[in-house]
């Protein structure tokens, strides 16, 4: 265990007892939503998990410490700091640890800390991936490489639809990362449930997902897995609304030279503006839904692990 890692007492007690825990990322708090919706959503998502009898562990870097589990006060600090916090992925950890910095962990960063703590299941909104135009920019999220190397399962609504979903799915296949459709054989497209991209793997229950994960890691196959969980139907946005907003936002980013770490927060915020706030409502709904499914999978996985002892 890293000497830089702090596991919250509640999280440690659950892990020591073999009880289910679900990790949560923190860039969705700092960079994904505005204040105060970000704090409200963070607390609401944790409550969704608690109601299932599962312990939530929001992950971040505070004062140079890797945190697996945040207090309400720590969540509020992060929410108020917003985009002044570093979007922390693997490459950023050394600087933040040595400099006692503040970091909101990305999908990749959250996977790393969750794995250090021994947490197997992680819920988020959507993963990063291959950006549109990556054939010229080479802009590919570090999330994908982390999924290939770190043993954490990520429950998400697919990759963010601002990305090139077809290339992202192809890249994941190359890296050997299972993409398991949860109750679907089609890759969800974040704001909508349909992408037109077929998935080779499907599971229709938490137990089925847990069985795949347990078999993967028990067989010594390194790396994570994606459980692609569609946004609830009542919150799914019409493609004729969301697609033009995405195209416009991507075009504006290209014209103004916004790229790198600033790109995804800009696109999500601009799409919220262009859809009159509907995309933010959809984002909040899908995160809560993913947290609920992740809790069910964590329960099934913990049960399976205990039975195999």
CB environment 104-129: b (16+ within 10 A), e (fewer): bbbbbbbbbbbbbbebbbbbbbbbbb
173 is catalytic: no
Contact in structure between 56 and 50 (CB atoms under 8 Å): yes
196: left (phi over 0), alpha (psi -120 to 50) or beta: left
Contact in structure between 134 and 140 (CB atoms under 8 Å): yes
Could you give the maximum distance between any two Cα atoms of the chain, in Å? 57
Phi, psi at 29, each rounded to 5°: -80, -50
Contact in structure between 45 and 288 (CB atoms under 8 Å): yes
Which listed residue (12, 25, 67, 288) is catalytic?
A: 25
Q: In angstroms, how far is the first alpha carbon of the chain from the final one?
A: 22
The CA distance from 38 to 155, in Å, is: 19
Which listed residue (12, 67, 120, 160) is catalytic?
A: 160
Phi, psi at 70, each rounded to 5°: -115, 145
The strand pair at 225-228 and 179-182 is best described as parallel
The CA distance from 190 to 91, in Å, is: 26
Map tokens 């609304």 to a residue: 241
The CA distance from 73 to 62, in Å, is: 12
306 is catalytic: no
Following DSSP, what letter does each residue of 24-87 receive, concatenated? E-SHHHHTSS-TTHHHHHHHHHHHHHHHTT-EEEEEEEETTEEEES--HHHHHHHHHHGGGSEE
Active site residues: 25, 160
């Amino acid at each position: 265990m890293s000497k830089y890692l702090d596991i919250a007492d509640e999280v440690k007690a659950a892990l020591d007892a073999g009880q289910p825990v679900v990790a949560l990322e923190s860039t969705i708090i700092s960079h994904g939503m505005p204040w105060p919706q970000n704090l409200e959503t963070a607390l609401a998502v944790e409550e969704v998990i608690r109601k299932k009898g599962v312990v939530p562990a929001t992950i971040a870097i505070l004062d140079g410490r890797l945190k697996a589990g945040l207090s309400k006060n720590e969540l509020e600090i992060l929410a108020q700091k917003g985009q002044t916090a570093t979007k922390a992925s693997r490459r950023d950890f050394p600087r933040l640890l040595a400099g006692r910095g503040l970091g909101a962990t990305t999908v990749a960063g959250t996977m790393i800390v969750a794995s250090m703590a021994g947490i197997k299941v992680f819920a988020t909104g959507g993963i990063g991936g291959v950006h549109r135009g990556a054939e010229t920019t080479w802009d590919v999220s570090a999330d994908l490489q982390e999924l290939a190397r770190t043993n954490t399962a990520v429950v998400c609504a697919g990759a963010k639809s601002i990305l090139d979903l077809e290339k992202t799915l192809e890249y994941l296949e190359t890296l050997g990362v299972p993409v398991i459709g949860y109750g679907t054989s089609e890759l969800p497209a974040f704001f909508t449930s349909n992408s037109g991209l077929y998935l080779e793997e499907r599971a229709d229950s938490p137990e089925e997902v847990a069985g795949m994960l347990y078999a993967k890691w028990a067989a010594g196959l390194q790396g994570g897995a994606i459980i692609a969980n569609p946004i609830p139907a009542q919150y799914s946005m019409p493609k004729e609304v969301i697609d033009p907003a995405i195209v416009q936002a991507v075009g504006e980013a290209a014209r103004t030279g916004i790229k790198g770490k600033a790109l995804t927060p800009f696109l999500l915020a601009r799409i919220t503006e262009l859809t009159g706030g509907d995309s933010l409502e959809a984002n909040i709904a899908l995160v809560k839904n993913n947290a609920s499914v992740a809790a069910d999978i964590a329960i099934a996985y913990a049960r399976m692990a205990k039975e195999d002892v």
